[in-house]
Each structure stands twice: as structure tokens, then as C-alpha cells.
Structure 1
Amino acid sequence: MDLLLEGLTGVFQLNVLLILLMGIIAGITIGSLPGLTATMGVALILPVTFGMEPVTGILLLIGVYFGAVYGGSITAILINTPGTPSSAATAIDGYAMSKKGLAHKALTVSTVSSAIGGILSVIVLIFIAPQLATFALKFSAPETFALAVFGISIISSIAGKSMVKGLIAGFIGLLIATIGIDPIGGFPRFTFDNVNLSSGINLIPVMIGLFAASEAFRAMGSIFSTRKLTIVVEKVKLKWIEFKILIGTILRSGAIGTFIGMIPGAGGDIAAFVAYNEAKRFSKNKDGFGKGEMKGVAAPEAANNGVTGGAMIPLLTLGIPGDAVTAVLLGALMVQGIQPGPMLFENNGPIVYTLFVGMLVANLMILIVGLFGIRLFTKILLVPTTVLTPIILVLCVVGAYSLGNNYFDVLVMLISGIAGYFLMRFGFPASPIILGIILGPLMESNFRRALVMSQGSFDIFITRPITVVLLILAVITLFSPLLTRKVKKPTTEGES
């Protein structure tokens, strides 16, 4: 209790609160811009913290981290341009709601879900961090492979109208993921002696191309078309009865995000798609997903913000970063003379609890800033297409180039944009491609590491309980949509 009071005293100072708020606003801005990820944002702000007090500097970085994860949903919902990879799942139903004139409601759902998911993860961090971190350490190569397979099986839920087209899109993503240096043997694959391909195809330019550039190319067609598209922005607020329906989805998704965040190597993008799939599985209105279902916005946003607290669990208790952002935070903590690990709570108790309180306040700030900013955010939709489309394309180019100051990334983005345009026209979903690129390397590398551990025996995948459970869930997830459709079909025929 004394440590908690010290934490409250440490955070509720005007200068600390202002710096935390600045971090949140900077993070939201960074997260909403295509190509600028949360990791990049924290890395950019890191040098600013070197002259600050330890707690103030770390809270500034946490503000940027939390704000950027939330900020990615803004452009995902409004213009189908995920600001961060973890908001790609949000774009599926968020943009569909926006096209219906429900952008205000979609952003409200996103903001509230993000805040609740983040708060839930911090509460878990405060009370049961050591126990959960110990469980997360049981995830070795076989378990991580099974988790990746479970993630891939979600393709069946995000495939859209055609399961076959969804699986083809996912297979394309897996093929793209094989380009580059072999993760175990170290030899080049499908690089065609091009040095730019040796490190593989970067996810961010592909994502920017498939979602943002392709949408801009489609909008260019409507500019020159005789049939003009009219965008209506209706200020439809989220009703209390609608929010009550979402509470179960938000809590479940926040828990999923917290758990996946604990696993080193897994991130918000995986958590968002897993939570989206589970929301669809538990929903009575499965057909509404992909067409503007509010649960399709709430689930990924609660999950990817739940990852923020979850990823801090192994970082603070074991000194192991849960994702790329917490790897940067690990360096920041060590620069400030704070050594994460089992002795952190003994040696730096007041600082730790100050960070805990700061994380809770950061999520509350996201809720306040997000809700007050919705009216401003939706103004984007009122910008004429002739003005907005060139701006989106410029942001796509700048975002792709800024990753490594490399024109090759811009080329990848443009090719992905053209491919995305034609995929859209022929009814192929883009999300399974992104999922394949994200999970392909994780699945392959851990599959091969598991075989090295077992000296080539496949028994390792059926003798470890967590692995078996995840693989069974993957099979159920992959085939459940097909079974559901078969059950519905005879019923429909009987009714007719």
C-alpha cells in the first residue's frame, strides 16, 4: 500500500502529467501516420529522455508507446490505412463502418476498447505479473510454432465471402515470407542476387501498399468516373445498450492481448487477429463481420492495447522484452540505471509502482484525448477525394521511404498497391496476406528449431500439452467456418 501511495505521488505532479500527455499526443500522431510504427516512435523519442529523471523519461516513452498503438486505428477506420501493423485487423470492420457514415461510432468503440484493454493489461501486470511471466517462459519453439499455426488458421475467419480466395491470399503471404536469408541455414532464398531482398520483404511497405495505396488507386478511378461517390459523416454516438453488448468482447480480447503480449516474439498484430477471430466465433451475428460489425472493431483494439501491459510483464519481472518496443524500453531502463529482472521489485519498488500508476493514467489519457479528438479526426472524411487521394499517396511514399531511407521499399509499396487494387477488384482479401507475412517467419523458424531440439522427431509436437492444445484449436478454427456453412445450407434449403 505504501508503494502504491508513493506511485500516486510520483505520477500526480503537474510536470509528470504534462510530459505523459505530450507522449500520448506524440504517440497518437506517430501511430496514425503510415509507416511510423510504435517501435520507431519510441526509438525516435528515446534520446530526449537521457537528460530527464528516470521515472519521467520512462513515462514519456510509455506514453508514446501506448498512444502509437491506439493511433494506428484512426486512419485504419477512416481511410482504410492502418497506421501500425496491429491495426490491420481493425480496418476490416472499422472502414466498413466508416463507409456507412458511422465513423464517429467506430472511433468511439476503438477509443473505449483501447483504454479498457490497456487498463485490464496493467491491472494484470500489477497483481499477477511474476506468476504469468513464469508460465510464459514455458513457451519454447514447439509452443511458439503452434501459436503461429493457430494464428494462420484465423485466415478462415477473415477470408470474406470465399474461403478459397482467403486461403490463396494467405498462401501468397506465406510465400512472400520465405524471401530472404534462411533463418536456420543462413543461405539466401529467392533473392535473385538482389541485396535489397536479402533481409526479406519488409511488412510495412506491403501493408501500406495493400491497404492505403490500393485504396488511393481505387479512389482515383472514382475521381474520373461519371458516378461520383458521396461520403456522409453522421455523428451517430455509441449508445449505452450497444456498449453493454461489447463489454464481454472487450474483456475477453483484452485478456487475449495480455496473454499473447507476455510471450516473447508475439506482438499486437497476432493478438489483434486472434481476438478478431474469437469475437467472430462467440458472436451470434457472424455474417456481420467484415461488413461493419462493432465487435470487429472492439476486439482487435482491446487486444493490441492489451499487449502493451502484457509485454511489460516479462520485461519487468524477467528482463526479457515481450516485443520490439519493449526491447527499446529495456535499453531505456538500463540507461537510467534500472535493471529489470527478479530483483527489480526489491531494489526499485517505488519506481516500479510509479510506472504502474503512470500506465493506468496513460490509458485514461488515451480515453479522454481520443473521445475529445473524434470530432477532429472525422474531418478527414470531409476532405474532397481529389485532395485526399494525392495526400494519401504522398504519405504512402514518405512512410515507405522513412523505414530505411531506401527507394526499394517505395517500389515494394507501389507494387503491393497495384496488386492490392487488382486483388480488391477480383474479391481477394488483403488481410490474410498480411497475416501470412507476419506469421510465416515465426512459424517456419520455430518449427525448424523444434525439430533441432528433438533431433528430427515430430513427437515433440504431440508430447507437449500446450502445443497439442494450440494445434487442436488451430484445426477447429480453420474448419469451423466450413462446418457452420454446411449446417446453415440445409437449414436454408429446408426453409425455402
Structure 2
Amino acid sequence: MELFDNILLGFSVAFTLDNLLYCALGVTIGMFIGVIPGVGHLAAISMLLPLTFYVPPTTALVMLAGIYYGAQYGGSTASILLNLPGTPASAVVCLDGYPMAQNGRGGVALLMTTLASFVGSFITVFVLAAFAPPLAAFAVSFNSADYFSMMLLGLVAAAILVQGSPAKGAAAVIIGLILGMVGTDVNTGVQRYTFGFSFLYDGINIVAIAMGIFGIAEVIANVGKIKGAQNDHKITLRSLIPTAQDLKQSIMPMLRGTGIGTGIGILPGTGTSIASFLAYAIEKRVSRDPKKFGKGAIEGITAPESANNAAAQSAFIPTLTLGIPGDAVMALMLGALLIHGIAPGPNVITDNPGLFWGLVVSFLIGNVLLLILNIPLVGVWVRLLKIPYPLLYPSIILFIAIGVYSINYSHLDIVLVAFFGLVGCLLLVLGFEPAPLLLGYILGPMIEENFRRTLLISRGDMMVFLERPVSATFLALCLFLLIWSIHSSSKERRIRKRIESSR
């Protein structure tokens, strides 16, 4: 009964005119960004984050979340028609989506990915509504030692579960921790890492970091890769209609993908890309005819699409209930909460029930809007892919500069964005993932605060972290992840040496 009352509260918040408009705006921008290869939702959220400073926190999160899961819907369009993923999580859709388009079934592929995205998102919203409040109620009993260990687990997972080298992931986390220390120490008033620059006394602006390492860096990185591929596909409403066999073959893959994505999204440091690739691998493993994958198998697009959208929704569970962002997008959501003066963590649901339940219901509204909008707008997205990228990308850079300048009306913020854009490009060239850096920046100050508080309460006794069962469990998981990472790396090294010696 309490859940029903909470849902009613969510509807009363989400169905206000402002929240409906910003939800529609967010999902539309998300679809638009998802369709364009090489831009991505991170760049879009970074660019539009300044706009949310002037609206209530619930409205801000509704729009930013809409951009996030809206991009998951649109990301498959370019993957299917051009073999260019609109978002990283949509890369796996290229494997079977593009062959379907070449076989004249591009319309069916587009419609089925939309349906799969809707199924994955819609089911996971109910999981979020059912399990987030009990998890938050359990987390209320945590003390500073438990929070420190939990956040440490989040950083270790973010470093180890990256797609590249775990050592590089750890280095990116450490850089983020150092960036989070810049500014005035709240306990002592001492200036740290400011180098005498007064504009750094309040710390580095999160928008400048996000826009730099995700917005500018991603645009620059994709300028040379994407040449503006010719799009000659003609999609009609008739070509969108799937056969009964298509629907039958997609039901179980969508449900399996939803389950995989929901579980993966809850884990810190994973993200939608891992969920998408894992769903595709499992679907290929359970298939009676695995040889059809890569040649236009309908299961090869519905499973990963439902998984990446489910992961995008379930990632909000640890972010809103524990204050632990699972990926870089959730870190930006956490930053938006902090900017609006809302302390993230288990008390968000009890202290701001309208915000939490309004956001949950907005997910339902946003996914219905996406289902309604995505199908008739397919023709628009197809024509959008014909925009020359030499015109598109400079416009994105201009919007980034305008967005960051509008925060404090300071030209120094533009300089910071340009600097972090160069840092982001350097990270990409050297094979570092920028997401762990942002996670380190967000969680760093919170980890330091809880670590200091714990030592003050325990009078410097470090054993307090092992004496509390919850804290000890999180630390044990950290140790397990480190041992597993070292073992996996050494195993890969041995296999590589064996292959080289056999040559």
C-alpha cells in the first residue's frame, strides 16, 4: 500500500507542466544526440548541465535523466544504417543491425530496437521503485566507516572494471582524487593545489571537467574518424512492420537482456556498454544456431538494446540510495544534486520523497514518449545523419563554450574547459578511460570526509574499518576485486607469451 501511495506522489510531481516539458525536452535531445555518431550522452549532459542551475532539482534530474536514456534509444539508429554506433553501448548493434539494413530490413531493425529499449527500460523502472526504498532503509544504518569502505569499493570497481588496462583505470581514479582535493580544505581552511589562483579557491567546476574530458575531447577524437558516411537508406512506415516470427524470436532475448542489464547497472563501475556486450555474448551462447549472429540475427539487436536501456535505468539505484555513482553519467547526476544543495545518499528518499518518486514516474512517462516519438521520427533521424560533420562539430564546441561561460560569466572557466579538453584528448591517446577520473573527482571529497570523521570518532584506531561488519564486507570485496584483477592480468600475460612463443 505504501508503494502505491509513493507512486501516486510521483505522479503528482511528474505531471506538473514544467516537469512534463523538461522530460519531453530531455528525451528528444537524448534521441537527437544518440543518433549522431561520436557525440554521446556524456557530452550532451555536460553541455546542458548549466541550464539545470535555474530550475528546481527534480526538474533538473528529470531532464538530465531523459537525455541519458533517450540517447540509448537513438544510439542504435546510426549503428543500423551506417555501421557507426551513436553511443558506445550501441556498438554491438552494428554486428547484426547493419547486415539487416543491407538485406533491406533496416526498418524492422529500427522498430525492434525501439521496442527492446522500451521493454528493458519499462520493466527496470518497477525494479527501481520496488528495491530502491528497502536498500535506502538498510543504508540509513551505515556510519562513516561503512560509507568510506563502500565508496572505496566504488572507486576500486571503477578502476578495475574498465575496458582497458586496470592499472590505467587506477591511475585515472587517482588523478580524479587529486582534482577533487583542489580548493579550500573545509576542516582547516588551508588552500590545497590552488597554486595561488583565487578562482580555484572553491575547487574546480565539475561542469568544466565534464565538458572538457567528455565534450571537447570526444568531438576532437571523432573528427578524424567520422567522414560523414553516405546514408542512402529510405525508411517507410510499411518497412517498419516486423513479422510474427521476428516478434516471437525477440521476446525471450528482450527479457534476458533486461535481467542482465538490470543486474549490471546496479554494480558500480560497469555501465551500459558492458551490459550490452554481455547480453549479446549470452544470447549467442544460448542460441540453437550461433552461426547466424553477425549476419542479421534479430536476437543480436533486441538483447543488447534491452540490456543497455535496463542498465541505464538501474544505475540510478546505487546513485540515489547510496550516493555511489556507477558510471560517469551517474557522477554527473550526483554533481547536479550537490549543486542544488541536496546531499546524496539513503536520506534522499526520506528527506526528498517528491524528488525520488517524481523522477521514477518521469522514467515511465519518458519511455512512453520515446516509444511514441521514435517511430514517426525515424525519417527525421535518417535525414539528420546527412548533416556534414565539419558543420556539426564546430557548433557543438560553440555550445560548450557558451554553456560553461553562462555559469559564472568568467572567461577562466572557458580556459579550464579547453585545458581539460586537452587532458581528455591526452587520456584517449594514451589509452586511459576518462570515466574513472570523474568518479574519483566526485567521490574523492566524500571519501576524505568520511575517513577523517571515522578516525576522529575512533581516536585514530584504524581497526574500526574491520570491526564493523558492513565496512569489513566492503573492504573484503575490494580485496577480492584486486586479487581477481591481478590474476586475470597474469593469466592474459601467460596466454600472450604462449601465443608468441608458438609463432
TM-score range, shorter chain: 0.5 to 0.7
Q: Secondary structure at the match of 1:158?
A: coil
Q: Percent identity?
A: 23
Query: In the alignment, residue 396 of structure 1 is paired with which amino acid?
Result: I
**2:408 aligns to what?**
404
In the TM superposition, 1:82-481 aligns within 5 A as 92-94=88-90, 116-117=120-121, 120-122=124-126, 124-125=128-129, 131-153=134-156, 154-160=158-164, 162-219=165-222, 230=229, 244-245=252-253, 247-248=255-256, 250-251=258-259, 253-254=261-262, 273-275=269-271, 279=275, 301-306=309-314, 360-370=364-374, 373=377, 376-377=380-381, 379-481=383-485
Contact 1:157-1:277 within 8 A present in 2 as well: no
Query: In the alignment, residue 462 of structure 2 is paired with which amino acid?
Result: F
Following the alignment from structure 2 to structure 1, what is the Cα–Cα distance between the partners of residues 110 and 472? 37
Contact 1:77-1:107 within 8 A present in 2 as well: no
Do the aligned partners of residues 168 and 63 (structure 1) sit closer, same or farther apart at CA in structure 2, a change above 3 Å counting?
Answer: closer
**1:336 aligns to what?**
none
Following the alignment from structure 2 to structure 1, what is the Cα–Cα distance between the partners of residues 71 and 351? 33
Q: Secondary structure at the match of 2:398?
A: helix
Do the aligned partners of residues 297 and 146 (structure 1) sit closer, same or farther apart at CA in structure 2, a change above 3 Å counting?
Answer: farther
Do the aligned partners of residues 9 and 115 (structure 1) sit closer, same or farther apart at CA in structure 2, a change above 3 Å counting?
Answer: same
C-alpha displacement of 1:376: 3.9
**1:26 aligns to what?**
25
Contact 1:214-1:421 within 8 A present in 2 as well: yes
C-alpha displacement of 1:230: 3.9
Give a deviation string over 1:76-97, Cα, whole Å, max 9, x none: 8899xxxxxxxxxx95444686
Q: Secondary structure at the match of 1:138?
A: coil
Query: In the alignment, residue 152 of structure 2 is paired with which amino acid?
Result: V
**2:490 aligns to what?**
486
Do the aligned partners of residues 63 and 217 (structure 1) sit closer, same or farther apart at CA in structure 2, a change above 3 Å counting?
Answer: closer
Contact 1:165-1:428 within 8 A present in 2 as well: yes
Pair 1:44-2:54 in alignment: yes
Following the alignment from structure 1 to structure 2, what is the Cα–Cα distance between the partners of residues 2 and 444? 37
**1:70 aligns to what?**
69
Equivalent residues, number: 433
C-alpha displacement of 1:175: 1.9
C-alpha displacement of 1:358: 6.5
Do the aligned partners of residues 218 and 255 (structure 1) sit closer, same or farther apart at CA in structure 2, a change above 3 Å counting?
Answer: closer
Following the alignment from structure 1 to structure 2, what is the Cα–Cα distance between the partners of residues 164 and 173? 14
Following the alignment from structure 2 to structure 1, what is the Cα–Cα distance between the partners of residues 473 and 216? 39
Give a deviation string over 1:425-447, Cα, whole Å, max 9, x none: 33333223223222222222222
Do the aligned partners of residues 464 and 205 (structure 1) sit closer, same or farther apart at CA in structure 2, a change above 3 Å counting?
Answer: same
Do the aligned partners of residues 373 and 193 (structure 1) sit closer, same or farther apart at CA in structure 2, a change above 3 Å counting?
Answer: farther
Give a deviation string over 1:160-205, Cα, whole Å, max 9, x none: 1x34333333322222222112243332101122121112122322
Following the alignment from structure 1 to structure 2, what is the Cα–Cα distance between the partners of residues 116 and 110? 10
C-alpha displacement of 1:424: 2.2
Contact 2:213-2:421 within 8 A present in 1 as well: yes
C-alpha displacement of 1:121: 4.2
Do the aligned partners of residues 168 and 130 (structure 1) sit closer, same or farther apart at CA in structure 2, a change above 3 Å counting?
Answer: closer
Do the aligned partners of residues 359 and 213 (structure 1) sit closer, same or farther apart at CA in structure 2, a change above 3 Å counting?
Answer: closer
Give a deviation string over 1:44-70, Cα, whole Å, max 9, x none: 3449xxxxxxxxxx8x77754642443
C-alpha displacement of 1:147: 2.0
Do the aligned partners of residues 430 and 329 (structure 1) sit closer, same or farther apart at CA in structure 2, a change above 3 Å counting?
Answer: closer
Following the alignment from structure 2 to structure 1, what is the Cα–Cα distance between the partners of residues 460 and 443? 22
Do the aligned partners of residues 360 and 294 (structure 1) sit closer, same or farther apart at CA in structure 2, a change above 3 Å counting?
Answer: closer
C-alpha displacement of 1:135: 0.7
Query: In the alignment, residue 273 of structure 1 is paired with which amino acid?
Result: G
Contact 1:204-1:400 within 8 A present in 2 as well: yes
Give a deviation string over 1:114-137, Cα, whole Å, max 9, x none: 874565345553x56664432120
Contact 2:184-2:192 within 8 A present in 1 as well: yes
Query: In the alignment, residue 399 of structure 2 is paired with which amino acid?
Result: L
Following the alignment from structure 1 to structure 2, what is the Cα–Cα distance between the partners of residues 3 and 202? 38
Give a deviation string over 1:212-240, Cα, whole Å, max 9, x none: 212333455579xxxx5747698999976
Query: In the alignment, residue 170 of structure 1 is paired with which amino acid?
Result: V
Q: Secondary structure at the match of 2:408?
A: coil
Contact 1:254-1:306 within 8 A present in 2 as well: yes
Taking structure 1 as the reference length, the TM-score comes to: 0.66
Query: In the alignment, residue 472 of structure 1 is paired with which amino acid?
Result: A
Following the alignment from structure 1 to structure 2, what is the Cα–Cα distance between the partners of residues 354 and 34? 20
C-alpha displacement of 1:149: 1.3
Taking structure 2 as the reference length, the TM-score comes to: 0.65
Do the aligned partners of residues 150 and 64 (structure 1) sit closer, same or farther apart at CA in structure 2, a change above 3 Å counting?
Answer: same
Query: In the alignment, residue 447 of structure 1 is paired with which amino acid?
Result: F
Q: Secondary structure at the match of 1:382?
A: coil
Query: In the alignment, residue 426 of structure 2 is paired with which amino acid?
Result: F
Do the aligned partners of residues 281 and 213 (structure 1) sit closer, same or farther apart at CA in structure 2, a change above 3 Å counting?
Answer: closer
Following the alignment from structure 1 to structure 2, what is the Cα–Cα distance between the partners of residues 185 and 362? 45
Following the alignment from structure 2 to structure 1, what is the Cα–Cα distance between the partners of residues 93 and 66? 23
C-alpha displacement of 1:458: 1.1
Give a deviation string over 1:297-351, Cα, whole Å, max 9, x none: 8666534533557777799xxxxxx9566789999xxxxxxxx95999xxx9xxx
Q: Which moved more, 1:93-102 or 1:391-400?
A: 93-102
